[in-house]
């Protein structure tokens, strides 16, 4: 399964778009990109996932590059409540659950 | 409301004692998971169960045990054999009819402190 690389931390001004990058250069054709976030001392929360097309839901947008080697999670108007650790995970069909890895993620701080 | 409950939120135990963490879900999900999180770290999988009466070890199963006698429940026992049990424990479930098996729904977690 492909590994992911994320910056350890980022800041974003309140009201601005937060763009969180994820590198997954070894991703294979049947692997999806999933994003979760974890607010301090709470359980992680599913945000969005995609294969190769851009995806949007009520929480965020996911932009996957054409070569699928990287992606960006976009929070269009960040609020203080978006301060959290964001995890990018690559998962393939048929992946055993013990291969689903939540790495250290990116700690996003939304600043007033 | 549907969701996952974990109790208690905070738990304190003396070294050498076994302790059982509760996890219940009413989402009708087939799969359930236990993760451990240490400060500043990601999540590490302890055990997972895809169906009742069956479960598999994750990356760090040593010193832990689980049972899955009911679809709704997946309790985790931290035994005295676990050398560093103090951590934040998270339970999750997935696999409802309308969701991907990889869309995991997490409980609020139990913070265990062993002294």
Contacting residues of B for A84, CB less than 8 Å apart: none
Q: Which of B42, B58, B102 sits opposite A103 (nearest CB)?
A: B42
| A positions 50-69 inside 8 Å of B (CB) | none
Residue A1, burial from CB neighbour count under 10 angstroms (0-12, 13-18, 19+) = middle
A91 and chain B in contact, CB less than 8 A: yes
Half-sphere exposure of B111 (CA within 13 A, CB side): 8
Consecutive 10-residue averages of pLDDT for chain A (112 residues): 87 97 91 93 92 93 96 97 95 73 92 96
- Res. B57: pLDDT tops 60: yes
Asked if A100 and B40 come within 8 Å (Cβ–Cβ), the reply is no
Span B58-100, pLDDT tens digits:
989 999 999 999 999 999 999 998 999 999 999 999 886 555 6
- Residues of A with Cβ-Cβ distance to B45 under 8 angstroms: 97-98, 100
SS3 letters for chain A?
CCCCECCCEEEEECCCCEEEEEECCCCCCCEEEEEEEECCCCCCEEEEEECCCCEECCCCEEEECCCCCEEEEEECCCCHHHCEEEEEEEEECCCCHHHCCECCCEEEEEEC
Rounded mean pLDDT of B37-42? 88
**Among partner residues B40, B48, B102, which is closest to A91 by beta-carbon distance?**
B102
In this prediction, residue B103 has a pLDDT band, given cuts at 50, 70 and 90, of confident
Predicted local confidence at residue B70, as pLDDT:
96
């Amino acid at each position: 399964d492909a590994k992911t690389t994320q910056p350890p931390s980022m800041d974003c001004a309140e009201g601005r778009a937060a763009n969180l990058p994820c590198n997954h250069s070894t991703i294979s054709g049947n692997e999806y990109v999933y994003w979760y976030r974890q607010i301090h001392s709470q359980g992680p929360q599913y945000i969005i996932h995609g294969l190769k097309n851009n995806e949007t839901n009520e929480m965020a947008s996911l932009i996957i590059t054409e070569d699928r080697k990287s992606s960006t999670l976009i929070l269009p108007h960040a609020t203080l409540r978006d301060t959290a650790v964001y995890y990018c995970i690559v998962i393939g069909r048929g992946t055993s659950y013990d291969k689903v890895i939540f790495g250290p993620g990116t700690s996003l701080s939304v600043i007033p | 409301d549907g969701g996952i409950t974990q109790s208690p939120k905070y738990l304190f135990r003396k070294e050498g004692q076994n302790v059982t963490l509760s996890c219940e879900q009413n989402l009708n999900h087939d799969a359930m998971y236990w993760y451990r999180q240490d400060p500043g770290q990601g999540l590490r999988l302890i055990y997972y169960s895809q169906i009742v009466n069956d479960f598999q070890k994750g990356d760090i199963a040593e010193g832990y045990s689980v049972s899955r006698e009911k679809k709704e429940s997946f309790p985790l026992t931290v035994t005295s054999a676990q050398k560093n049990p103090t951590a934040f424990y998270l339970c999750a479930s997935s696999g409802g009819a309308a969701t991907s098996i990889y869309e995991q729904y997490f409980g609020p977690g139990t913070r265990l402190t062993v002294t």
